[in-house]
Structures are given as structure tokens and as C-alpha cells.
Structure 1
Amino acid sequence: MAKLSPIESKFGSTEEAEAYDVWFRAKVQRALDSKEPGIPHDEVMAEMRALIESHRRNAADLAT
């Protein structure tokens, strides 16, 4: 098992990196093959902006 440098990879070994790659590619392929309707870009962006703002408010509350 080859060890990877934390500077080069977040994985501890090439086997871990390869396993993640296989999992990730399968997940992407399932999404591409899905027959479910997509979510409009503007809707996703609005949700993400709200989530980011919520996290900012929580962080500001914790800082006070």
C-alpha cells in the first residue's frame, strides 16, 4: 500500500484514492442516468445563498 503525502492528497493511500474515484464516478454516472427532473440553476443558487447566509448568521452569533 503506497502512502500519499498530505500535501498531495487527502487520502492516506493510493488504494483509498482509487476507491474514492470509483465511488465518485459511479455517483456522477447515476446522476447523469437519472430520469428525475433537474433543478433550475436559479433555484439552486437561491437555496445556496440562503444556506450560506444562515451559516454566516450562526457564525456571527457564536462570535458575540
Structure 2
Amino acid sequence: MAKLSTTEPDFETPEDAAAYDRWFRAKVQAALDSTEPDVPHEEVMASIREIIDRKKNGATRLAG
């Protein structure tokens, strides 16, 4: 079985790491506390596919 790689953030100081941790935890908590309606997975994926397709088409036009 292949070993999974991990990416660890690189912070200049322990204070930077702590500040990021506080920010990240606040974002997660805000998402958990949100009362906005859920968006179905299929809808999110369709939106992402549109964005990817637009980027690919734009990159193709620039390269061609």
C-alpha cells in the first residue's frame, strides 16, 4: 500500500502557527454554526466543472 504524503504548513514563528490555528478553527466553527441551507454535492460539482472548463478554454485560447 502506498504511503500517503502529508503537507505541513511552514510558519516562520510559533506565533504565526498559533495565529493560523486560531483562524482555521474559527472558520471551521463558523461553518458548523452556519444556518445557511446546504448545497447538494451535485450542484457544487457542476459549478466547479464549469469553472474548470472556463479556465481550460481560456488557457487553450492563449496557447493557440
TM-score normalized with structure 2 length: 0.75
1:11-64 residue CA offsets vs partner (Å, 9 max, x unmatched): 333322221121011011001011111101000000001101111111111112
Q: How many residues align?
A: 57
Larger mean CA deviation between 11-20 and 37-46 belongs to 11-20
What's the C-alpha RMSD, in Å, of the aligned pairs?
1.4
In structure 1, C-alpha distance between the alignment counterparts of 2:9 and 2:32, rounded to whole Å: 27
Percent identity between matched residues is: 54
In structure 2, C-alpha distance between the alignment counterparts of 1:46 and 1:55, rounded to whole Å: 14
Describe how 1:1-64 pairs up with structure 2 within 5 A.
9-64=9-64
**Larger RCO (CA under 8 A, 6+ residues apart):** 1
Q: Give 5+ residue unaligned stretches, structure 1.
A: 1-7
TM-score normalized with structure 1 length: 0.75
